[in-house]
């Protein structure tokens, strides 16, 4: 889904998220009334109105929050373009000169060759496989550790597929191979489970989650479980406006915030957060052997890491610094 907003002077801002045609309906038939006629700097007011107006059908996130996120990001892009500043400077400026990345994909060994600081791979088995599944996943981690050596981070992405017992056993089975963290083992609302998993995880192994949490309130509760890293997706959690608030919650508890993917929409935020020392790059090429921009071909001039890093100068363009590829087969399914 693409949301585009236009100022009276003809300048436009836009953003991309994953709400699809249903999200377009929500924007055209409901959210538009909170946007049209407002000042381009009224982002927090618009954001608050969108959240309050959708409370009765947004639930704990999902498609509605994806839609609100996309609108919010488009408004930040427009604001930056109107005032001639990159979004990260609107947030107060960079706290570091560059962003360093770990890569998410099935080949951490290739990620190491490309200069990334670590590699996060998917697990292949789950609770229905029992102890045999744990042994197979641990063997996969052991094999990748041998290929990558000791001076490289390895992480395991479990994508909401486990229970506390299985996740705890898996964490201990992988501990000998210096697994840096185990991610999103449980469904989003299992806060007590995350608290128990963190309490019983191997010493030195971090527990992380947050990709599929969709409200500020859910991140506050997640933070209270004591996990080490919260991982909101800026295109799903309520947009940049909410991401800044999540980072503040985490900072108050001494936790890290490392957003899930999201390319430039994350870059402009994380370079301003003191509790985000690194970020995630999603390897979207089928064999993980090449780096493709995450939103290719929809975005033009979308930066990718060089030797695992992006310098802040790459972000020094108005807004989010990317353009919409109008040669893509874009359509407007609804109007108002």
CA distance 253 to 240: 20
The number of C-alpha atoms within 13 Å of 66 and in the hemisphere containing its C-beta is 17
pLDDT at 9: 96
Is 223 found in the same domain as 76? no
Q: What is the pLDDT of residues 104-140, one digit of tens each?
A: 999 999 999 999 999 999 999 999 999 999 999 999 9
- Reported as a pLDDT band with limits 50, 70 and 90, residue 336 is confident
pLDDT at 60: 83
- Three-state secondary structure call for residue 203: coil
Residue 260 known to be catalytic: yes
- Reported as a pLDDT band with limits 50, 70 and 90, residue 5 is very high
CA distance 53 to 72: 15
Judge contact between 267 and 244, C-beta under 8 A.
Answer: no
Judge contact between 11 and 81, C-beta under 8 A.
Answer: yes
- Reported as a pLDDT band with limits 50, 70 and 90, residue 94 is very high
Give the pLDDT mean for 76-101.
99
3-state helix, strand, coil in the chain (%, to 5): 40, 15, 45
- Structural domains in the chain (count): 2
Which residue, of 34, 57, 84, is where some domain finishes? 84
pLDDT at 20: 95
Is 51 found in the same domain as 122? no
The answer on pLDDT for 214 being more than 90 is yes
Give the pLDDT mean for 209-232.
98
Structural domain containing residue 50: 2-84
The answer on pLDDT for 279 being more than 90 is yes
- In a domain? residue 331: no
How much is the pTM? 0.97
Residue 112 backbone class (left: φ over 0; alpha: ψ -120 to 50; beta: rest): alpha
pLDDT at 216: 97
Is 149 found in the same domain as 42? no
Q: Which one of 213, 260, 267, 268 is the catalytic residue?
A: 260
Q: What is the pLDDT of residues 18-61, one digit of tens each?
A: 999 999 999 999 999 999 999 999 999 999 999 999 999 998 88
Q: What is the pLDDT of residues 149-165, one digit of tens each?
A: 999 999 999 999 999 99
Residue of 100, 97, 117 lying closest to 108 (CA atoms) = 117
Is 191 found in the same domain as 304? yes
The answer on pLDDT for 274 being more than 90 is yes
- Residue 228's CATH number: 3.20.20.120
- In a domain? residue 67: yes
- Number of Cβ within 10 Å of residue 309's Cβ equals 16
Backbone angles phi, psi at 118, to 5 degrees: -170, 175
How high does pLDDT run on average in the chain? 98
Is 135 found in the same domain as 21? no
The answer on pLDDT for 141 being more than 90 is yes
The answer on pLDDT for 295 being more than 90 is yes
pLDDT at 59: 85
How many degrees, rounded to 5, is the angle at CA 184 between CA 182 and CA 189? 140
Q: What is the pLDDT of residues 255-268, one digit of tens each?
A: 999 999 999 999 99
Residue 158 backbone class (left: φ over 0; alpha: ψ -120 to 50; beta: rest): alpha
Give the pLDDT mean for 230-247.
99
Which residue, of 57, 84, 111, is where some domain finishes? 84
Which residue, of 84, 110, 132, is where some domain finishes? 84
- Three-state secondary structure call for residue 146: helix
What are the start-end ranges of the H helices in the chain? Answer: 20-29, 43-53, 55-58, 63-83, 87-90, 108-113, 130-148, 164-174, 191-200, 216-224, 240-252, 263-270
The answer on pLDDT for 2 being more than 90 is yes
Give the pLDDT mean for 190-203.
99
Give the pLDDT mean for 265-291.
97
Backbone angles phi, psi at 120, to 5 degrees: -110, 125
- Residue 6's CATH number: 3.30.390.10
């Amino acid at each position: 889904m693409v949301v585009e907003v236009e100022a009276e002077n003809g300048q436009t801002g836009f953003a991309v998220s994953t709400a699809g045609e249903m999200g377009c309906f929500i924007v055209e038939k409901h959210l538009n009334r909170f946007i049209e006629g407002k000042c381009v700097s009224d982002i927090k007011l618009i954001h608050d109105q969108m959240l309050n107006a959708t409370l009765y059908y947004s639930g704990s996130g999902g498609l509605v929050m994806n839609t609100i996120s996309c609108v919010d990001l488009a408004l930040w892009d427009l604001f930056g373009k109107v005032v001639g500043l990159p979004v990260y400077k609107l947030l107060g400026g960079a706290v570091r000169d560059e962003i360093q990345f770990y890569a998410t994909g099935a080949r951490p060994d290739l990620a190491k060759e490309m200069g990334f600081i670590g590699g996060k791979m998917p697990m292949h088995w789950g609770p229905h496989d029992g102890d045999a599944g744990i042994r197979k996943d641990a063997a996969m981690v052991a094999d990748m550790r041998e290929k990558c050596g000791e001076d490289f981070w390895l992480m395991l992405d479990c994508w909401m597929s486990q229970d506390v017992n299985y996740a705890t056993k898996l964490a201990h089975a992988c501990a000998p191979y210096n697994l840096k963290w185990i991610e999103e083992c449980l469904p989003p609302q299992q806060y007590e489970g995350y608290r128990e998993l963190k309490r019983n995880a191997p010493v030195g192994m971090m527990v992380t989650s947050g990709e599929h949490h969709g409200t500020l309130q859910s991140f506050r509760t997640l933070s209270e479980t004591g996990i080490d890293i919260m991982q909101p997706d800026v295109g799903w959690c309520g947009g940049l406006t909410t991401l800044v608030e999540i980072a503040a919650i985490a900072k108050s508890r001494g936790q890290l915030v490392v957003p899930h993917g999201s390319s430039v929409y994350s870059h402009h935020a994380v370079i301003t957060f003191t509790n985000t020392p690194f970020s995630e790059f999603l390897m979207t090429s089928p064999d993980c052997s090449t780096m493709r921009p995450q939103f290719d071909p929809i975005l033009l001039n979308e930066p990718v890491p060089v030797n695992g890093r992006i310098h802040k100068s790459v972000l020094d363009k108005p807004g989010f610094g990317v353009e919409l590829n109008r040669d893509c087969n874009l359509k407007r399914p609804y109007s108002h």
